Amino acid sequence: MKKISAYVIGCLLLSLSACNNEPHFTVKGDISDAKGKMLYFEASGIDEIEILDSTKLGSSGSYKFTYKQPESPEYYRLRIDNQIINFSIDSTETVIINAALADMPTNYTVEGSEASVKIKELSLKQIDLQRRVDILFKNASNLAPHIIQDSLFNMVTDYKQDIKLNYIFKDPTKAYAYFALFQKLGNFLIFDPLNSKEDIKCFAAVATSLNNRYPHAIRTKNIYNIVMKGMRNTRAPQQKILEIPKDKIKEANIIDIELKDMKGNVRKLTDLKGKVVMLDFTVYQNAVSPSRNLALRELYDKYSKDGFEIYQISLDADEHFWKTSADNLPWICVRDVNGIYSNYLSIYNVTNLPAFFLINRNNELKIRGEAVKNIEEEIKKLI
């Protein structure tokens, strides 16, 4: 029995030794002024955040987490309450992250991972963009809606250009290039891989690089599927001659639109005769959509009593997202199930989204959005 016991114990020790020798990475450091706080070590999955480990910090604030080496670059984070530090691991490196609790997400230091240093840069840039957007809308009452919209558009466009050139296209093989694709403004992706041809190019560059190096990785397959879906969404349909039924042409200068609202009721554009109407084509799943609708709401609240109405067409592929986003909007919200292949886009010659038109009280289309310098002034002219 003693010999058997010794043999069993020996096997167990060998097994434990094998586990300890399994390739792993380490993240360690100090979080100052955080005594008694729980520090969570989490994995940032494609669809969810998974808690891998945690520790209650002592007076020194020191911590150390060890975890198995990922098969391909993966993303992790340290979290105390709602304060988060993102980092990436692709091998068996030791990453040292030090911070103070008071400004943990913005003023931390990171060593041992080039990708994590770049992820810090990206995080700080995104935080600054969000801050500037928040300031813009905090001062919204003092600014004309078109100024808000133009300012927001310019902020996001400049940000995307910086990220494209300096983080994504500069080296799409790097883990930080993938991280950059999924940054958000509020709850919306800054890069839109399902509706923007330019943004799809960014996703495609990273997808190609991942496929060359990690063809079997879950993230590779996921981003590849995103690119394929985006390409299908934005692929130009075969050109065909649009035959517009005569009964759709109600007035000399407008073609009627009949679409269902969230309650399933058909809403006709021409039923709004007698009102000044903004015909708005949009995609709610776009980073600028919430702030744009906020600007439109100011116009609506100000001029609806004078006969101003908005007829807003959603081209979102996700019906549930549209209903959730449009639920509290006071104007007419309809959705075209054909999405970006909507015949109405061709009929009204819409080539970029969002796009809008202003229609006078006689159902006559008076001006396209591209020609509008001051939305409010144009509305006042028609009212």
Residues 208 and 228 occupy one common structural domain: yes
Query: Does 325 fall in a domain?
Result: yes
Say whether 269 sits in a helix, a strand or coil.
helix
- What single letter denotes the amino acid at residue 83? Q
User: Is residue 218 scored above 50 in pLDDT?
Assistant: yes
* Mean pLDDT to the nearest integer, 325-338: 92
pLDDT tens digits along 138-196 = 887 777 767 777 788 889 999 999 999 999 999 999 999 999 999 988 778 899 888 78
Lowest mean pLDDT of 2-16, 280-294, 365-379, name the range. Answer: 2-16
Residues 135 and 81 occupy one common structural domain: no
Domain boundary among 208, 234, 260: 234
Distances (CA, A) of 13 to 2, 3, 7, 281, 360: 16, 15, 10, 67, 84
User: Is residue 3 scored above 70 in pLDDT?
Assistant: no
Residues 319 and 362 occupy one common structural domain: yes
- CATH number of the domain that residue 256 is part of: 3.40.30.10
Residues 277 and 190 occupy one common structural domain: no
Helices (H) and strands (E) in the chain, counts: 10, 17
- CATH number of the domain that residue 93 is part of: 2.60.40.180
Residues 152 and 41 occupy one common structural domain: no
Residues 264 and 366 occupy one common structural domain: yes
User: Is residue 291 scored above 60 in pLDDT?
Assistant: yes
Domain boundary among 92, 112, 132: 112
Lowest mean pLDDT of 101-110, 172-181, 290-299, name the range. Answer: 290-299
Query: Does 18 fall in a domain?
Result: no
Residues 164 and 107 occupy one common structural domain: no
Predicted confidence band of residue 13 (pLDDT cuts 50, 70, 90): very low
What pLDDT sits at residue 78?
98
- What single letter denotes the amino acid at residue 361? R
Residues 250 and 180 occupy one common structural domain: no
- pLDDT > 90: percent of the chain: 59
Determine the structural domain holding residue 99 and report its residue range.
Answer: 24-112
Lookup result for tokens 């079997």: 216
3-state secondary structure 63-105: EEEEEECCCCCEEEEEEECCEEEEEEECCCCEEEEEEEHHHCC
Predicted confidence band of residue 6 (pLDDT cuts 50, 70, 90): low
pLDDT tens digits along 22-31 = 899 999 999 9
- 244 vs 69, which has greater pLDDT? 69
Residues 362 and 300 occupy one common structural domain: yes
Distance CA 77, CA 65 (A): 11
Query: Does 119 fall in a domain?
Result: no
Domain boundary among 183, 214, 234: 234
Q: Provide long-range contacts, Cβ within 8 A and 24+ apart, for 150-159.
A: 152/288, 152/291, 152/292, 153/288, 155/129, 156/129, 156/185, 156/190, 156/287, 156/288, 159/125, 159/129, 159/190
pLDDT tens digits along 336-347 = 988 877 888 878
Query: Does 12 fall in a domain?
Result: no
Query: Does 17 fall in a domain?
Result: no
Query: Does 1 fall in a domain?
Result: no
Q: Of all helices (H) and strands (E), which one includes residue 184?
A: strand 184-185
- The secondary structure of the chain in percent helix, strand, coil, rounded to multiples of 5, reads 45, 25, 30
Lookup result for tokens 């133009």: 150
What pLDDT sits at residue 116?
97
User: Is residue 308 scored above 70 in pLDDT?
Assistant: yes
Query: Does 200 fall in a domain?
Result: yes
What pLDDT sits at residue 9?
52
Q: How many domains does the chain have?
A: 3
User: Is residue 359 scored above 50 in pLDDT?
Assistant: yes
* Mean pLDDT to the nearest integer, 90-110: 96
Say whether 173 sits in a helix, a strand or coil.
coil
Query: Does 229 fall in a domain?
Result: yes
Residues 139 and 207 occupy one common structural domain: yes
Residues 268 and 197 occupy one common structural domain: no
Residues 282 and 374 occupy one common structural domain: yes
| Beta-bridge partner residues of 308 | 276
